[in-house]
Chains A and B, each alone.
Chain A
Amino acid sequence: MGIMDKKKAIKLSADLAIASARKGTTYWSRAIIAKATAENNDCSRIIVENILGPERAERLEKASKLSAVRYNNRLLRSRKILKKCHNVRRALRKNVPRRVVAANSIAKRMVEKRTQVLKGLVPGGEFMDEVSLIEETLDYLVSLRAQVDVMRCLACATDLVNGKYEGKKKLAIVKRRVCGLLLLFG
């Protein structure tokens, strides 16, 4: 296994680890698992089975494929266009001055643009409506932070074990890092 493959394997394991912690209760975790199980190479399969366990891997794979198809993209898009037309017309009918209507629609367009970017960042985000997107983002952010913390602790511990630090400093750092890891897992 080359270093690039190793890096991909580490990333995949880290993502599957935070996804499996959710036990299929969030959309983003199911999306990560669906993507991993859809990949056809042996390496991914081994990682999926090791982290999730073989029976759970199969069960989650089926559930993830179902929920990805649930939302119809085209239906959502046409509904959004209709809603935009209705809102502008409704505001004009209530005699709201045109520049206010324009400012409101510019603000809405900014929010929509940013929402599109967010949908690209959160796994499985393209299929969600606004409210679910924000809820999923909240959960995904917390999990991502935990992922970064664990990986940082692990990297530090590996540095230590490889003899990067010397003497008394080593013992203090080992204690701190191990406590940090235990807190995260416990």
Chain B
Amino acid sequence: MSSRRSRSRQQSGVSRSTNNNITDDQITDLVSKLQQLIPEIRNSRSDKVSASKVLQETCNYIRNLHREVDDLSDRLSELLATTETDSAQAAIIRSLLM
């Protein structure tokens, strides 16, 4: 059963150690990388942040980014609706996108 697990891991295309057991070091390394990406934790840095807090802040951050994308799509859909399709202005926007 362990050989089946290692085979499916190698097929998934993400680099990983050949060891079957997930080492704690691997996980703490990844969690610390995650910590550096999240602004709330990075700015108010204390020495030890628990894994559960990192995960919680990650989820909040992703939710905020999703909300921003949503707001920006709203704004863009209104803006693009008001820009007339044949004007020079629309040509500028189109050239930025292509």
Interface positions of A (Cβ within 8 A of B): 3, 6-7, 10-11, 14, 25-27, 67, 70-71, 107, 110-111, 114-115, 117-118, 121-122, 129-132, 134-138, 140-142, 144-145, 147-148, 151-152, 154-155, 157-159, 161-162, 178, 181
Contacts and interface: CB of A to CB of B under 8 A. Distances in A.
- Kindly list the 7 A-B residue pairs having the minimum CB-CB distance in the complex, ordered from nearest: A114-B55, A6-B77, A151-B72, A161-B89, A134-B30, A7-B77, A158-B79
Contacts, number: 126
Contact of A27 (B14, B33, B63, B70): B14
A14 B69 contact: yes
A130 to B, nearest CB: 7
B58 A118 contact: yes
17 contacts: A3-B78, A11-B73, A27-B12, A70-B12, A71-B8, A111-B51, A122-B62, A129-B22, A135-B14, A136-B14, A137-B58, A137-B62, A141-B34, A145-B65, A148-B68, A151-B69, A158-B83
A151 B73 contact: yes
B49 interface: no
